[in-house]
Amino acid sequence: MTIDLQLYQARLDISEIECDRLWKLLSEDERSRADRFKRENLRRNFVAARGNLRIILAQWLGCKPKAIHFSYSDRGKPYLQNPKGIYFNLAHSQDFAIYGVSSDREVGIDLEYINPQCDIEGIAQRYFSPSEYEVIKGLGDRDPSLAIQAFYQAWTLKEAYGKATGQGIANILEGLDVSPLLEIAIGATLQIGDWNLKLLSTELELGTSYAAALCINQHSS
């Protein structure tokens, strides 16, 4: 990646010892949020995702992980109270978390585990743009696995854009058309206003069961 943007990933299926180590890095608010999860694996995943986020950001900020303080936007996007010009975003699904950190521009990132049983055509027809639906339907006529992959690629692109811009996915699901990126090789960039969107592949080691996308502002702050 470029100098002002770094991507990271972390496994969430960690040992109890590692979970205890990361727990000690969390704030009281984060611990309270973790304890609200009724299922132990979800609690562990939250602790692992947030603990590793603190470790990553501490490297950028030159401080101890526990010294970092977060605030949240109206839509729940976390940001730093002690920023020093650092922008970040994280996403987690199943056993992985991914992180994007930039020194000078807003960033959004998303990760989704690909569920082959999902009603992709029904959801795409209802919530995606007509052109996105046609791409997914056309791929499904050739090979259902291609349609499933394209559906999750579209979803992660929309999520990443919604997170980067602060709009949230609910407000841009149908209005944001990412169909050009569903028909070309992964690695291409789609420009929408001041934002660059791309699917992630070789930048991370996630395997074929996941889709991931990145959105970053073209202009530095």
Instruction: Give the pTM.
Output: 0.92
Mean pLDDT, rounded, for 50-74: 93
Give me the percent of the chain exceeding a pLDDT of 70.
97
How far lies 79's CA from each of 26, 53, 54, 153, in Å? 15, 12, 12, 26
Domain boundaries, given as residue ranges, for the chain: 7-103, 111-217
pLDDT at 92: 95
Q: Give the integer Cα–Cα distance in Å for 109 and 214.
A: 5
Count how many Cα atoms sit within 13 Å of the Cα of residue 138 in the half-sphere of its side chain. Answer: 9
Q: Pick the residue with more confidence: 1 or 60?
A: 60
Residue 1 has pLDDT above 70, yes or no: no
pLDDT value of residue 42:
96
As a whole number, mean pLDDT of residues 209-218 equals 94
- Encode pLDDT of 2-56 as tens digits: 558 999 999 999 999 999 999 999 999 999 999 999 999 999 999 999 999 999 9
For residues 108 and 174, the model is more confident at 108
For residues 143 and 197, give the distance between their C-alpha atoms in angstroms, rounded to a whole number: 25
- DSSP class of residue 161 equals H
Q: Under CATH, what is the fold of the domain 7-103?
A: Ribosomal Protein L22; Chain A (3.90.470)
Q: Scan for tokens 């149908």, then name that residue.
A: 174
Mean pLDDT estimate for the chain: 91
The reported pLDDT for the residue numbered 220 is 81
- Residues listed for the chain: 221
Q: pLDDT of 79-123, one tens digit each?
A: 888 666 799 999 999 999 999 999 989 999 999 999 999 999 999
pLDDT band at 172 (very low <50, low <70, confident <90, very high): confident
The per-residue pLDDT for 153 is: 95
